[in-house]
Structure 1
Amino acid sequence: MSTNAGSAQSPFNPDHHRVERVLCFAAHPDDIDFGAAGTIAAWTDAGVQVSYCIMTDGDAGGFDPAQREAIVALRNQEQRRAAALVGVSDIHYLHQLDGYLEPSHEVMKGVVKLIREIRPDVVLSMHPERNWNRIQKSHPDHLAVGESVTRAVYPAVENPFAYPELAESGLEAYKLPWLWLYAGPEDRENHFVDVTGQVDRKLAAIHVHTSQHPDREAMDRTVRGMMLDLGRRAGLSEGGSAESFHVVAINGSDTIAGF
């Protein structure tokens, strides 16, 4: 179930806008699980094909110095296991350095390439704007994901003359319908998804990332509390949990080319 709430109304209506393929972008393994695993579980349960693109290998993550040499392989395994719990098996990496991610043309070209390959109905990405109320949501790599993806979806993805080597290789320009942004400022949120029935699967996916979250009880408490608060803001019944997004219509029935 999706519900529109907040100060601005989402242009997305789940009763009228069909979603069959989704491509999700994140900076590090575990970002998607915190931001949207409940929504993703609901999508895959409904038969939606969901793919992930993790831009870095998470090589600067973790707490144990003894894990340095194995951390990339470990986090890759964690992400694959977590993704499987919410019905996702298609995972891509851009192999950028953790902590050094920038909205470069190398990164944007990788984003354009993947979007044109998958041709999703929804691109789901971290938000390009900083969240001053909870700065942890706004790791510089998170902001770089949001900026890279936002620049890529318009105009490069739909412009056949942007990165022309992609079109020459057979990857034709594509008009993306929807961009859903997560982990952004609260005042940008305009769309809530009821994930009350997916809370346990979301937490199970987060639990897989043991290299990043040694205090499981504190993490559970925090995530459950946040989801309940979002449920209240979304107008759900008592005890309902939600995830929130800033939904942007990129191409729709009233879109005019160029503006």
Structure 2
Amino acid sequence: MLVVTAHPDDVDFAAAGTVAAWVKSGIQVAYCICTSGDAGGYDDTPRAEMGPLREAEQRAAAAEVGVEDVRFLGHPDGRLLPDLELRRDISREIRRFRPDRVLTQSPEIWWRRVGASHPDHRATGEAALAAVYPDARNPFAHPELLADEGLDAWTVHEMWLMGAPDERLNHAVDITDTFDRKVAALQAHISQTAHMGDLEARLRPWHLHWARTFDLPEGRLAEAFQVVSVG
């Protein structure tokens, strides 16, 4: 499974419990992160230091859920566009890792929780969708990937979208047994979460809500997604 997000910490807020469950079941997972998060943070950390700091935090967070393969594309934080360059770079990672499934961000606006629909998130989702279909599977798209890098076309058959509008959500993953890994992953993002206090108390009601929405037994915790068959 390849996870494609805009910023360090995006996957951990939206899907770290699911990723931990996948890894626990023996599924290989890699991360492709479009920026280094250099426009983030809540303190006076110098801007030149923020990108490397957040990359290190994301690698530490990935280790908490068992992910070792973490790639950063280096696009500018806060200025992502779903252009051909971003599509090509995501296509490269798809062809390199050759996943069965891509988990990425929704290209739509979630009006009830608009903070999840950061413009970088939506740009990443749109570019990732184009990379899955048609770019990565088309040997004539981004021909330099094959000619210069030897990366053959690869077909992804399924996409999972995080941060999708409520009416789009059609699948929940029970993360009760991996919730502690999600909390640990988020705690690794010190520059982003140190000011939040009790992360577990903040997160638990949200995941209880999704479990109830999808009729899981009382007390269970869940993450919710829009699952799309690409064909």
Place the TM-score, normalised by the shorter chain, in its bin. over 0.9
Is 1:217 matched up with 2:201? no
Q: For residue 190 of structure 2, what is the amino acid of its counterpart? A: T
Pick from 122, 132, 140 the counterpart of residue 119 of structure 2: 140
Q: For residue 129 of structure 2, what is the amino acid of its counterpart? A: T
TM-score by length of 1: 0.86
Is 1:192 matched up with 2:172? yes
Give 2:186's aligned residue. 206
Pick from 100, 119, 136 the counterpart of residue 121 of structure 1: 100
Aligned residues: 230
Give 1:160's aligned residue. 139
Give 1:31's aligned residue. 10
Alignment of 1:38-57 (within 5 A): 38-57=17-36
| 1:218 CA displacement | 5.3
Structure 2: 5+ residue runs without aligned partners? none
Q: Work out the CA distance in 2 between the residues paired with 1:79 and 1:129.
A: 25
Question: Which structure: greater helix fraction?
Answer: 2
Give 1:172's aligned residue. 152
| 1:219 CA displacement | 4.0
Q: Work out the CA distance in 2 between the residues paired with 1:209 and 1:114.
A: 24
Q: For residue 167 of structure 1, what is the amino acid of its counterpart? A: L
Q: Work out the CA distance in 2 between the residues paired with 1:28 and 1:220.
A: 21
What is the CA deviation profile of residues 117-174 of structure 1, one whole-angstrom value per residue up to 9, with x for unaligned ones? Answer: 1110110001100100001100110001101001111111111111112222421111
Give 2:218's aligned residue. 238
Pick from 69, 72, 77 the counterpart of residue 93 of structure 1: 72
TM-score by length of 2: 0.96
SS at match of 1:213: helix
Q: Work out the CA distance in 1 between the residues paired with 2:153 and 2:56.
A: 33
Give 1:226's aligned residue. 206
More deviation in 167-176 or 74-83?
Answer: 167-176
SS at match of 1:154: helix
Q: Work out the CA distance in 2 between the residues paired with 1:91 and 1:179.
A: 19
Q: Work out the CA distance in 2 between the residues paired with 1:225 and 1:249.
A: 30
Is 1:250 matched up with 2:230? yes
Q: Work out the CA distance in 2 between the residues paired with 1:66 and 1:120.
A: 36
Q: Work out the CA distance in 2 between the residues paired with 1:192 and 1:181.
A: 12
CA contact (8 A) 1:207 1:216 kept: no
Give 2:163's aligned residue. 183
Pick from 30, 43, 51 the counterpart of residue 64 of structure 1: 43
What RMSD, in angstroms, separates the aligned Cα atoms of the two structures? 1.2
CA contact (8 A) 1:24 1:123 kept: yes
CA contact (8 A) 2:183 2:199 kept: no
Q: Percent identity at matched positions?
A: 47
Q: For residue 19 of structure 2, what is the amino acid of its counterpart? A: I
Q: Work out the CA distance in 2 between the residues paired with 1:211 and 1:223.
A: 18
Q: Work out the CA distance in 2 between the residues paired with 1:110 and 1:229.
A: 36
